[in-house]
Amino acid sequence: GDSVTQMEGPVTLSEEAFLTINCTYTATGYPSLFWYVQYPGEGLQLLLKATKADDKGSNKGFEATYRKETTSFHLEKGSVQVSDSAVYFCALSTGTASKLTFGTGTRLQVTL
């Protein structure tokens, strides 16, 4: 079946550091890939997505590139801020966008 593996956290970084959160997947067919973010006390929010190989999703300074050859969708940001502290979930869907398979989530903590 479909699955998503992402690095365990927590990830602790200083402000302005470079961020990478690794995400790899296994799926039947050609999945769409997503990153969701959950800020403290809030619901998951879509951060970015990519629907086909080599697509790059980007939003709020975050980027992720759909790599079919390595089945990866790593999340990157060049300079993190304290306000980026949250839990980040990698997810995929095959078929309809509604049925999402999530990774375990990676908690990011950014300090001054």
Closest distance to another protein from the beta carbon of 56 (Å): 19
Q: For tokens 């365990």, what's the residue?
A: 8
x-or-dash string of contact with another protein, 21-40, rule CB under 8 A = ---------------x-x--
Looking at 28, 42, 69, 70, which residue binds another protein (CB under 8 A)?
Answer: 42
Nearest CA-CA partner of 64 in 100, 93, 88? 88
Region class of 29: left (phi > 0), else alpha (psi between -120 and 50), else beta: left
Among 14, 45, 83, 111, binds another protein (CB under 8 A): 45
Nearest to 51 by CA among 60, 62, 38, 64: 64
Output the CA torsion sign for 14, 86, 9, 47. negative
List 28, 43, 69, 112, residue binding another protein (CB under 8 A): 43
Among 7, 17, 24, 102, binds another protein (CB under 8 A): 102
Backbone angles phi, psi at 6, to 5 degrees: -130, 160
In which residue are the tokens 């790599």 written?
67
Could you say whether residue 69 binds another protein (CB under 8 A)?
A: no
Q: Which is nearer to another protein, 49 or 74 (CB)?
A: 49
For another protein, the binding residues (CB under 8 A) are 4, 8, 36, 38, 41-46, 89, 95-105
